[in-house]
């Protein structure tokens, strides 16, 4: 379609820069990373990463909305350690997992709760990786 810019949330290379300090030169030459760089160069595409800014502007709230968590009952602010608490849209842990699997479109989910019928009254969403 002639587009020449990708605005993305996560890093384009793996692992994230700084993930394994001191080994960046090795990771630059991994096939997945060189393939991505070569494709961007070949098609003249500019890539712009807006990780934290995208989180603040829309991703956190869009994820809550996707889960059906619209109006928080508690909100501690908008710094990097923020979180919001919502009334649960479903009454049990098992139904919560089913609901999330459906809206996120995933077939599997890992759980550590012992009882699938445990009541769920509130859902908390910590900020980003803290979740």
User: pTM of the full predicted structure?
Assistant: 0.61
| Tens-digit pLDDT profile for residues 39-62 | 999 999 999 998 877 877 788 888
pLDDT at 112: 79
Instruction: Kindly tell me the number of DSSP H helices and DSSP E strands found in the chain.
Output: 5, 5
The percentage of the chain sitting over the pLDDT mark of 70, rounded to a whole number, equals: 85
Q: Rounded CA gap, 34 and 55, in Å?
A: 27
Work out the pLDDT band at 9, boundaries 50, 70, 90. Answer: confident
- Which range among 39-43, 76-80, 86-90 shows the weakest confidence by mean pLDDT? 76-80
């Amino acid at each position: 379609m002639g587009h020449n810019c990708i605005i993305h949330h996560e890093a384009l290379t793996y692992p994230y820069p700084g993930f394994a300090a001191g080994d960046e030169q090795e990771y630059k030459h991994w096939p997945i990373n060189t393939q991505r760089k070569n494709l961007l160069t070949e098609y003249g595409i500019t890539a712009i990463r807006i990780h934290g800014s995208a989180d603040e502007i829309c991703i956190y709230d869009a994820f809550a909305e996707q889960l059906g968590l619209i109006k928080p009952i508690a909100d501690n602010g908008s710094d990097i350690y923020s979180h919001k608490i919502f009334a649960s849209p479903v009454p049990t842990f098992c139904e919560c997992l089913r609901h999330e699997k459906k809206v996120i479109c995933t077939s599997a989910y890992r759980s550590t709760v012992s009882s699938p019928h445990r009541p769920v009254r509130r859902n908390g969403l910590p900020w980003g990786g803290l979740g």
